[in-house]
């Protein structure tokens, strides 16, 4: 396992997940907000540092993707179970991540393809929107906020989640079929 600063930040993000879940379960929403903000910041920082320090690794790319999926899945599940977030949104987010994970498994196990499909722009915007949605719902639990921003965030996050999932499905099917002229994510 290549140990470098970006990978250590990614591991930190994974280690923060149980703390975040416990904070929400114990209704320590202020702490949950702080922990999620640190985890989200580590996601942005690890990618930046990997590029800046030239410490990008295949292991780091996979670890980052797994850490993102674990963080978002755990967060959306615990927030939906505690009725802090709409359950339909959690189902969409988790379904997309399951679709992507199954696709990666199929590429590795069945097609023996080890291509690392980099995140597309739509996927990056989706991740940002999902994180902003979590920050919003945790904040509105602490202080009263107008419902309109929440409705807009939920609709935007849901839409981006669906579009991003369909885009990965399209790219993954092209990779499996060996289409060299496929639409590469950028």
Tokens read off for 6: 């970006």
CATH superfamily of 5-176: CDP-alcohol phosphotransferase transmembrane (TM) domain (1.20.120.1760)
Q: CA nearest 90: which of 146, 137, 123, 31?
A: 137
For 95-118, what is the mean pLDDT? 77
Of 33-47, 83-97, 108-122, 135-149, the least confident: 108-122
pTM of the model: 0.86
pLDDT tens sequence across 60-92 = 777 888 899 999 999 999 999 999 999 999 999
Query: Which class for 179: exposed (0-12), middle (13-18), buried (19 or more C-beta within 10 A)?
Result: exposed
**How high is the pLDDT of residue 157?**
97
């Amino acid at each position: 396992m290549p140990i470098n600063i970006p990978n250590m930040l990614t591991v930190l993000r994974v280690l923060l997940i149980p703390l975040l879940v416990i904070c929400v379960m114990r209704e320590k929403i202020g702490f949950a907000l702080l922990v999620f903000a640190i985890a989200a910041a580590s996601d942005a920082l690890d990618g930046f540092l990997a590029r800046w320090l030239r410490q990008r690794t295949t292991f780091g790319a996979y670890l980052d993707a797994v850490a993102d999926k674990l963080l978002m899945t755990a967060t959306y599940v615990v927030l939906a179970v505690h009725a802090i977030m709409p359950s339909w949104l959690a189902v969409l987010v988790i379904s997309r991540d399951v679709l992507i994970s199954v696709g990666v498994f199929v590429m590795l196990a069945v097609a023996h393809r080890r291509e690392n499909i980099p995140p597309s722009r739509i996927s990056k915007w989706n991740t940002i929107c999902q994180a902003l949605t979590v920050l919003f719902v945790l904040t509105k639990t602490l202080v009263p906020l107008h419902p309109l921003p929440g409705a807009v965030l939920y609709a935007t996050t849901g839409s981006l989640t669906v579009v991003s999932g369909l885009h990965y499905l399209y790219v993954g099917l092209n990779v499996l079929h060996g289409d060299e002229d496929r639409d590469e994510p950028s």
